[in-house]
Amino acid sequence: MIAIGDFEYIKDETNSYHRILSQEERNMNLRFYKNHIYIDGDFENEDSIKKMSSKELHTKLQNDLQRHNNAFEVLKKWELLPTHNLNILDIGCGTGMFVYRWIYEKHGNGYGVDISPLVTYVSPARDVIEIIDLNSINAPSIPSDVSLIVARDIIEHLFEVTHLLSAVKIGVSVFIEIPIIPQGFTEADLMDYKYLHPTRHLHFYTQQGIEQELTKSGFRIIKSELIKNNLKYLILVEKWKH
């Protein structure tokens, strides 16, 4: 075990770090996510949302909408867009603005999954979002007509990454965005890491680490791209075996 700040981690053979959590810490994390929603760069609770004016909430949702521009541009570059018949499931969808945009631009049907019931207060796509804790169920609910799962900035939050990846059916693709660390990152380097957020981010993968995790779970990499000074990784993978 390796101590980094107030937390303990395991470092694996790919030089990726995985936080060790007690049951109490797991419960605290789940309570936090259930009682907050990530909107416009911050986690907001029910009280703060209720205090927002409709104009302020609208502005924050529009800002969330704009934050998806890069992902849509990458999907276009990878020749997944434009399309009118590609159905998606956005896991950890937050305010649901990715799903909302997908449906609005008529790329196909869109569904979302998030742990926080606060989605129903704020999301214009609330009717197609299911409230589910991905950490505590046997398998995520994946609609049968979905051929692309969107998993952006969610994998690093999960208790058991393999649990989610194993639920994906053969033939389904997954579009992933995840923060990564350089191969030679030390514990001291990690303390200054831009995406540390140790109370929320539980996994710090190297590029090799996340690729190995995906391969072990039966995926093959179709396309990939490093962004944000090589600190984030975009990956399109396809499940091809159990």
For 99-105, the CB contacts below 8 A with 24+ separation are: 99/125, 99/128, 99/129, 100/65, 100/124, 100/125, 101/65, 101/68, 101/72, 103/128
Domain range summary for the chain, segments of one domain joined by + = 2-239
Q: Tens digits of per-residue pLDDT, 38-54?
A: 999 999 999 999 999 99
Whole-number pLDDT of residue 140: 63
Q: Looking at domain 2-239, which CATH architecture does it have?
A: 3-Layer(aba) Sandwich (3.40)
Q: Which of the two residues, 104 and 135, has the higher pLDDT score?
A: 104
pLDDT at 141 over 80: no
Closest CA to 114 of 44, 234, 33, 26: 33
Q: Tens digits of per-residue pLDDT, 151-207?
A: 999 999 999 999 889 889 999 999 999 999 999 899 999 999 999 998 999 999 999
pLDDT band at 139 (very low <50, low <70, confident <90, very high): low
Pairing of strands 7-11, 2-4: antiparallel
Q: Tens digits of per-residue pLDDT, 103-116?
A: 999 999 999 999 99
pLDDT at 79 over 70: yes
